[in-house]
């Protein structure tokens, strides 16, 4: 059994991109997966967060600078949303609203775990995930109401609850193991990448299965939307993420890229469903799928030479 897991672990570590792509394809075709309970992705993301904690080391703290975290947050989460909205509002107001929602959405709770998969600084990603999520409660109503002209209330309690279960609980659980069972930590580190990949495989599978109906019903618009949103995410990763950190060490650059792109699209989908027209809603759903594809795409670009620049 140990030898089989060792083989599987090595295979998963080398084939994360195909694994994620397979999860997406299976999500579109596998029956009954869309019936998975609503709490399943939350539980799986909490597990991924736990394994992501194993990527934290002393060096990750030494690389972290508060000034870098502050200016990155200001550019990515305060300036970029308004900029994208004003650039697009005269072209297509619904597209501008979609861009605003995508850019305003805080970093997703999967961001720290995904950051670990690209050898990024997990602490940086974790810090931005917490800060952007907490600030969203204040920033989002102000931006959405001021720019779109609609009064948008935010369910702060639900957002805090998600943060608690998917970030605080896994962190505390890992800290307890670290202090009470330190001998177990090397084992966790050894298996962290493979275990994270397994958790995220099932997250992708379930999320895509629950959204696939909307894709099949609007296939014409989806094709154009996927192209447009893909360009948007390329800007996220390459310009707003990796590019902004060109003077930083590679681990911080990768953390910036993943934290910038791996955002909480589920939150944007809820807001679009409650307050905006179907075109905006569908673009948010497309964003959820492109977000999934963006991770293996970014890893592929890194291997092809981006990290050598």
Q: How far is CA 180 from the centre of its chain?
A: 31
pLDDT of residue 203: 86
Examine residue 7 and state whether it is found in any structural domain, yes or no: no
CATH number at residue 96: 1.20.1530.20
pLDDT of residue 177: 92
Number of domains within the chain: 1
pLDDT 10s digits, 221-254: 676 777 778 887 888 887 878 888 888 888 898 8
Examine residue 33 and state whether it is found in any structural domain, yes or no: no
What is the span of the domain harbouring residue 266?
39-304
Examine residue 253 and state whether it is found in any structural domain, yes or no: yes
Q: Grade residue 307 by pLDDT with cuts at 50, 70 and 90.
A: low
Examine residue 72 and state whether it is found in any structural domain, yes or no: yes
**Angle subtended at Cα 47 by Cα 42 and Cα 52, rounded to the nearest 5 degrees:** 120
Examine residue 266 and state whether it is found in any structural domain, yes or no: yes
Mean pLDDT computed over 38-62 = 81
pLDDT of residue 74: 92
Q: Grade residue 176 by pLDDT with cuts at 50, 70 and 90.
A: very high
The better pLDDT of the pair 68, 302 is held by 68
Answer yes or no: is pLDDT of 1 > 70.
no
Nearest to 266 by CA among 192, 190, 204: 204
CB neighbourhood size of 180 (10 A): 8
């Amino acid at each position: 059994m140990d030898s089989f897991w060792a083989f599987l672990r090595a295979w998963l570590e080398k084939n994360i991109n195909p694994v994620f792509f397979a999860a997406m394809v299976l999500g579109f075709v596998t029956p009954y997966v869309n019936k998975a309970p609503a709490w399943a992705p939350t539980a799986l993301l909490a597990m991924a967060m736990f394994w992501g904690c194993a990527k934290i080391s002393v060096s990750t703290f030494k690389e972290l600078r508060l000034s870098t975290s502050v200016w990155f947050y200001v550019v990515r989460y305060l300036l970029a949303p308004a900029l994208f909205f004003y650039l697009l509002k005269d072209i297509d107001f619904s597209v501008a609203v979609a861009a605003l929602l995508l850019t305003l959405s805080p970093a997703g709770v999967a961001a720290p775990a995904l950051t670990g998969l690209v050898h990024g600084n997990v602490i940086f990603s974790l810090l931005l995930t917490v800060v952007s999520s907490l600030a969203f409660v204040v920033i989002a109503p102000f931006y959405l109401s001021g720019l779109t002209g609609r009064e948008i209330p935010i369910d702060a309690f639900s957002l805090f609850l998600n943060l608690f279960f998917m970030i605080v609980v896994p962190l505390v659980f890992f800290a307890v193991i670290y202090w009470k069972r330190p001998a177990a930590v090397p084992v966790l580190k050894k298996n962290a990448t493979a275990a994270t990949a397994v958790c995220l495989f099932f997250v992708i599978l379930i999320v895509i299965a629950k959204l696939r109906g909307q894709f099949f019903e609007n296939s014409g618009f989806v094709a154009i939307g996927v192209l447009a949103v893909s360009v948007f995410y390329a800007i996220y990763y390459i310009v707003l993420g990796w590019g902004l950190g060109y003077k930083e060490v590679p681990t911080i650059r990768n953390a910036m890229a993943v934290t910038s792109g791996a955002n909480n699209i589920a939150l944007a989908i809820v807001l679009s469903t409650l307050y905006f027209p179907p075109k905006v809603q569908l673009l948010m759903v497309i964003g959820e799928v492109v977000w999934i594809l963006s991770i293996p795409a970014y890893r592929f670009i890194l291997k092809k030479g981006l990290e050598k620049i």
